[in-house]
Amino acid sequence: MSLQELRAAVCHANKMLLQSGLVTMHSGNASGLDRESGHLVIKPSGVDYEKLTPEMLVEVDVASGEVVSGELSPSVDLPHHLILYRNLPELGGIIHTHSNYASSFAAINENIPLCLTAIADEFGGEIPCAPFAECDEESIGRSILQHRGKAPAILLANHGVFAWGPTPQAALKAAIMTEDVAKTVFLAKQLGEPRILSIESAAKYHDRYQNRYGQRKAA
């Protein structure tokens, strides 16, 4: 993927956050990384999602943290994105939201339990909630690294959600599915205590979904 294509993909991911109801006003952000150049592109701070264009995204050198191109200031969450990209070589996209249902679990410092086959499919385990972290340049990113589990997403206590994947589109899917399962579990808790899937059953569902679901690409 060229940097131009990456800009388009990250712009699309940011706009989909708004269309999917995961963000309000200027909150949240999406980024994507070009491993070849070592540069990421990220939503600029405080810019309306409707007005966002690929050209408005800010390009940043991951190693130095310096802005390479862009007239606007990058998201204030840039330091957290940088820490994750520097430490997790499999990442190519990161999403941050304050989506309602997932953030409800974050507000009470509670994991999203492994109680649905959809959670097993997408995440392979519960979605953990990391302890509260201050908004300095290191704390949030370090907390994510320390407390992340199998899932490509994590809740931040009293804050919101970070999700990631090998591409911006994969990170977007993880963020959307985090909110989707959070809503179902939230509703289930109104009826009683959700029943947790066994590790064995969850592993089977996860393997089937990750390795056999969907159409195979032609050789």
User: What are 104-155's pLDDT values in tens digits?
Assistant: 999 999 999 999 999 999 999 999 999 999 988 789 999 999 999 999 999 9
Report which of 78, 75, 103 is spatially closest to residue 160, judged by C-alpha positions: 103
Model pTM above 0.85 = yes
Q: Is 77 helix (H, G, I), strand (E, B) or coil?
A: coil
In whole angstroms, what is the distance from residue 16 CA to residue 103 CA? Answer: 18
Residue 219 in domain: no
pLDDT of residue 195: 97
Residue 216 in domain: no
Q: Count H helices and E strands in the chain, helices first.
A: 7, 8
The C-alpha torsion from 176 through 105 and 94 to 57, rounded to 10°, is 80
Residue 104 in domain: yes
In whole angstroms, what is the distance from residue 211 CA to residue 215 CA? Answer: 10
Q: What is the DSSP letter of 150?
A: S
| pLDDT tens readout for residues 185-205 | 999 999 999 999 999 999 999
Residue 202 in domain: yes
Q: Is 123 within 8 Å of 180 (Cβ atoms)?
A: no
CATH code of 192's domain? 3.40.225.10
For residue 115, what are the domain limits?
Answer: 3-211
Residue 172 in domain: yes
Q: Is the pLDDT of residue 93 over 70?
A: yes
Report which of 213, 208, 191, 206 is spatially closest to residue 119, judged by C-alpha positions: 206
The structural domain count of the chain equals 1
Token digits of residue 75: 């998201």
Residue 60 in domain: yes
Residue 21 in domain: yes
Q: Is the pLDDT of residue 219 over 60?
A: no
Residue 155 in domain: yes
